[in-house]
Structure 1
Amino acid sequence: MDYSNMPNRNIMCIDMKCFYCSAIAMLEGLDVLKEPIAVVGNLQQPGSVVLAASPVMKEKFKIKTTNRRYEIPKDPDIKLFEPKMNFFIQMSMNITKLISSYVPVEAIHVYSIDESFIDLTGTEKLWGSPEEVAKEIQRAILEQFNIPSAVGMGPNMLIAKLALDLDAKKTGFAKWTYEDIPKKLWPVRPLSEMWGIGKKMEANLNAMGIQTVGGLANANLAELEQRFGLMGNQLYHHAWGIDLSNLGEPLVKNPSLSFGKGQMLMRDYHTRKEISCVLLEACEDVMKRVRQAGFVGRTITLGLSYSRHAMTKGFHRSKTIDVPTNETLVMYKTCIELLDEYFAGEPARQLSVRISNLEREHSIQLDLFDEGKPQRQLIGPTMDAIRNKFGATSLLRAVSYTAAGTAINRDRLVGGHLA
């Protein structure tokens, strides 16, 4: 591969180690590297998920992210906290403000609450070499906020991210170049260890005989494109470390736009009636975003996962309707049809809804046999406007006031967690 014409900037990707635990530890005057700390979604619910665990918690007690509250040992040394999302967000903003004292704001791309990309190109005359600047930023964050971090560096966003995930998270700092790709990236297996490849794609690539990133890099590009389209081309070039995106653009570009919502239920939902309540709330939320973005869609997808004690697996099924829509009740009705067809009667614990196959709203066709359609087209935007002005819970459907409804409780949360 000829890298001579490829981007060659000084990009760093910085990740705050155990961010939630580190932030809580700072607030409580604890040492995140010495204390067994866990941040749990809701301490009152045994099934609540562990959102973050300190290094000692992971090493000594084998508790990590995605464990449940009831799996945490009853040890007096363990310190448990609920998330403080407003505080976490403010901490993230303060860290970004600190970084902006080293580089222009436009050189920072906040990737998530605890991770950012920073373009250090051109800062040499002010702060020294890019490596020195990166380590200085790490030192400043640790000194000011007592939050340790890891940094990956590379000539583009992709390689910086790979250096972070595959190297720096163990060592604290790693810099990769294009020349490092064959020896550092290609041996990686399973494929899902590489950023941008999920379990489903890994299975598809394994079925083609591709087991390592090196195998992907040396696969037949035409065959990958025929099988996966644009994504196949992207995977092939990512395996070579090639990324042409600019700072702030998504590293993985998905040409199929969609809107969706996934929700973990805080208890088992046993009946169709209970599940349908949450489905209606989820459809309402998704379609509000679809309408505000000016789209209508045809393909509606319902996913449902059962409790871990269930005897069967969940399902993920789609249905394409004839006329594109952004009406909440049309999406809900389709989801109910999918639920009736595939629901196994087991207790549900997680669900998701999604609408795809989108087109611009102005392309929607009038139906001479549906006289109520123009009126229904006004109801959704009117409800959206009321909620935008007076709050998400100012106008709710009756199901939200039942025991199965979740909208009222979730409105008190930030990012799905306690504010």
Structure 2
Amino acid sequence: MGTPIEDDELPRRDVLCIDVKSFFASVEAVRRRIHPLYAYIIVIANRERPGSVVLAASPRVKKEFGIKTGSRNFEIPNDPRLTVVEPSMALYLKVNQMVMNIFRRFVADEDLHIYSIDEAFLDVTASGRLFGDKHTIAKMIQHTIWRELRLVVTIGIGDNPLLAKLALDNEGKNARDGIACWTYEDVPEKVWSIHPITDMWGISSGYARSLCNIGIESVKDLAHADKWKLKKKYGIVGLQMYYHAWGIDYSVLSDKAGPREKSYSKGQILMRDYYHEDEIIIVIKEMTEDVASRLRRHGVAASGIALGISYTRDIEDHGFRHQVLLPRSTNATAELAGHFIRLFKKYWMQQPVRQIHVVCSKLQPAGHEQMDLFTPPELDERRHILDETIDEIRDRFGKDAIFRAYSLMKGGTYLQRAGHVGGHKGNSN
């Protein structure tokens, strides 16, 4: 097909991208002994709030009512066929683990990449000797999950993770048997036909508008653009978009495996865009407190941190992720929060924030922290006593038994999340 890379140099693996169809809603359907494809179930963050977000909707709800993930509570019609439920995150996590354990029957851990709670990549190249070709393995996994969990999965098969993902999203999810296969040879016919261009993996509406301004309106246009001009305008992302338009992706799942440094992290998708610095800082403080508590519970301190900020999806600049080594290791909430806030203020470009991720890494046993010449020992001791007292009260009486005053201010999310799992109610009853 005249690719920018010689055919014999293109990486060819047998990769599956597997999605559990309408995962949250499907689990709720199975609980009620209803076939997931025949159910009328909507999972919503909070039934009492008109503006609450729909987290999942059964396929029939999407097709017949137009309600999908991201819709709002006030958009749900008053129809007796519809069952509206709040999420049971503990149950969803448990079922997710069951699905992952089925995947592990077919691939080694290093060939499994969990993309989200309802989606994963499997490199089955080495599995062929045991189970047959990639199509046979895909059908075996599909049937196994249905037989054991009564969940419906759709599968994209590709020569690399990119093609597998594109096959899933653009064909597999609507295919009669739920399976689609895209290879390099299919790129001109299938990849270049993806429309709109935002349906191409990795191209946001912001990038789409920018590409349109330079005359690139389709994936085919992108594949035939001057890659060096794209690199000049967008940096390495420009080259990535160009090669992706040719279906080229050098990712190998097992390369992401291997020894990993232990770290503790927390991520949160905000319920709205946060525009004001003081509100964003409140959330960063709350999240830092959660991670710091886990450090103390495991008897370790961090000497490195990383902060990830994602802007709202319509912003061309996606956000940033930066890490820094600390002057000394610590697990003190106030000290860690100070470092995270400085990192945020240094790199934030006044854009609306929608997602925050904090990471504490480079761990060592607590108690080995170096003294800080600029921090009085009595202040260290007061911080230590305060943190441990708060930890003990929360362990005994629950997370909402004690909280910091800033959590009552506009923007705070701690009290809404207290007692929740993954940001949603954990009750699976």
TM-score band, normalised by shorter chain: 0.7 to 0.9
**Corresponding letter in the other structure for 1:146:** R
Q: Give the Cα–Cα distance (whole angstroms) in 2 for the partners of residues 355 and 29 of structure 1.
A: 39
Give 1:92's aligned residue.
96
The answer as to 2:417 corresponding to 1:410 is yes
Deviation of the 1:316 alpha carbon: 10
CA gap of 1:77–1:209, structure 2 versus 1, over 3 A, is same
Q: CA RMSD in A?
A: 4.5
Residue 399 (structure 1) shift: 2.2
- Contact kept? 1:13, 1:161, Cα under 8 Å: yes
Match of 2:48 in 1: 44
Supply the distance in 2 between the matched residues of 1:247 and 1:70 (Cα, whole angstroms).
Answer: 41
State which of 115, 128, 143 in structure 2 corresponds to 1:139. Answer: 143
Out of 373, 391, 404, the position equivalent to 1:397 is 404
1:288 CA displacement: 7.5
Write the distance in 2 (CA, Å) between the matches of 1:300 and 1:140: 37
Pairwise CA distance, 1:383? 7.5
Within 5 A, what are the aligned runs for 1:147-158?
Answer: 147-158=151-162
Find the counterpart in structure 2 of residue 328 from structure 1.
337
Q: 1:69 & 1:7 partners in 2: Cα distance?
A: 45
TM-score, normalization by structure 2: 0.73
Q: Does 1:73 align with 2:80?
A: no
1:218 aligns with 2:224: yes
**Kept after mapping to 2: 8 A contact 1:7/1:156:** yes
1:110 matches 2:86: no
User: Aligned to 2:190, what secondary structure does the other structure show?
Assistant: helix
Contact 1:38 1:52 in 2 (8 A): yes
Q: Which sections of structure 2, spanning at least 5 residues, go unmatched?
A: 257-264, 296-300, 328-334, 364-372
Deviation for aligned residue 1:54: 0.9
Closer/same/farther in 2, CA of residues 385 and 237 from structure 1, 3 Å limit: farther
Q: CA shift at 1:30, angstroms?
A: 1.5
Taking the aligned partners of 1:336 and 1:9, their CA distance within structure 2 comes to 43
| Cross-structure match for 2:190 | 184
How far apart are residue 22 of structure 1 and its match?
0.9
Matched, 1:12 2:21: no
Segment of structure 1 superposing worse, 276-285 or 130-139: 276-285
Alignment of 1:300-311 (within 5 A): none
Say which SS state the counterpart of residue 126 (structure 2) adopts: coil
1:264 maps to 2:302: no
- Evaluate the alpha carbon distance shift between residue 31 and residue 288 of structure 1 in structure 2; reply closer, same or farther with a 3 A threshold: closer
Q: How many residues align?
A: 381
- Residues 316, 17 of structure 1: CA spacing in aligned structure 2 closer, same or farther, 3 A cutoff? closer
The 8 Å contact of residues 268 and 356 in structure 2, kept in 1 or not, is answered as yes
The Cα shift of 1:397 comes to 2.2
- Cα distance in 1 between the residues matched to 2:238 and 2:377: 42
Task: Please say if residues 110 and 116 of structure 1, whose CA atoms lie closer than 8 Å, have aligned partners that are also in contact.
Answer: yes
* Aligned partner letter, 2:90: N
> Contact 1:12/1:119 (CA < 8 Å) preserved in 2?
yes
User: What's the counterpart of residue 123 of structure 1?
Assistant: 127
Question: Does the C-alpha gap of structure 1 residues 404 and 125 become closer, same or farther in structure 2, counting only changes over 3 Å?
Answer: closer
Which residue is 2:332 aligned to?
none
| Distance in 2 (alpha carbons) for counterparts of 1:240 and 1:207 | 21
Call closer, same or farther: CA 1:74–1:230 in 2, change over 3 Å: same
Counterparts of 1:283 and 1:107 in 2: how far apart (Å)?
36
Cross-structure match for 2:259:
none
CA–CA separation in structure 2 for the residues paired with 1:88 and 1:295: 32
Contact 1:300 1:331 in 2 (8 A): no
Deviations 1:289-341 (A, max 9, x none): 699764468x9979699xxxxxxx9x9999x9xxx9975357669989999x9
Q: Give the whole-Å Cα distance in 1 for the aligned partners of 2:35 and 2:187.
A: 36
Structure 1 residue 174 and structure 2 residue 174: aligned? Answer: no
Please list the CA deviations of residues 222-264 of structure 1 after superposition, one character each: whole Å capped at 9, or x if unmatched. 11111111111211111111111111668xxxxxxx9975421
CA contact (8 A) 1:327 1:377 kept: no
Tell me how far apart the structure 2 counterparts of residues 196 and 303 of structure 1 sit (CA, whole Å): 15
Contact 2:283 2:411 in 1 (8 A): no
Which range is displaced more, 326-335 or 169-178? 326-335
Residue 308 of structure 1: aligned partner: none
Equivalent residues of 2:308, 2:358 under 8 A apart: yes
Shift of 1:198: 1.1
Aligned to 1:193: 199
Residue of structure 2 in register with 1:282 after alignment: 284
The answer to whether the 8 A contact 2:184-2:247 is kept is yes
> Residue in 2 aligned with 1:309?
none
TM-score by length of 1: 0.75
**Residue 351 of structure 1: how far off its partner (Å):** 5.5
Asked if the contact 2:20/2:118 (under 8 Å) is kept, the reply is: yes
Distance 1:54 1:101 in 2: 28
The 1:260–1:117 alpha-carbon spacing in structure 2 relative to 1, beyond 3 Å, is: closer
Q: Spell out, residue by residue over 1:11-53, the C-alpha distance to the aligned partner (whole angstroms, 9 max, x if none).
A: 1111111111111111111222222111111122222111111
CA displacement 1:255-279 (0-9 Å, x = unmatched)? xxx99754216xx99x98xx94674
How far 1:175 moved relative to its partner? 0.8
Match of residue 249, structure 2, among 223, 243, 252: 243
Q: Which of 231, 235, 247 is the equivalent residue of 2:237?
A: 231
Q: Secondary structure at the match of 1:243?
A: coil
Amino acid at match of 1:24: E
Q: Which amino acid aligns with 1:17?
A: K
Other-structure match for 2:39: 35
Q: Distance in 2 between matches of 1:394 and 1:99?
A: 40
Structure 1, gaps ≥5 residues long: 251-257, 306-312, 362-369
Instruction: Report if aligned partners of 1:108, 1:118 keep a CA contact under 8 Å in 2.
Output: yes
> What CA distance in whole angstroms lies between the structure 2 residues aligned with 1:242 and 1:40?
38
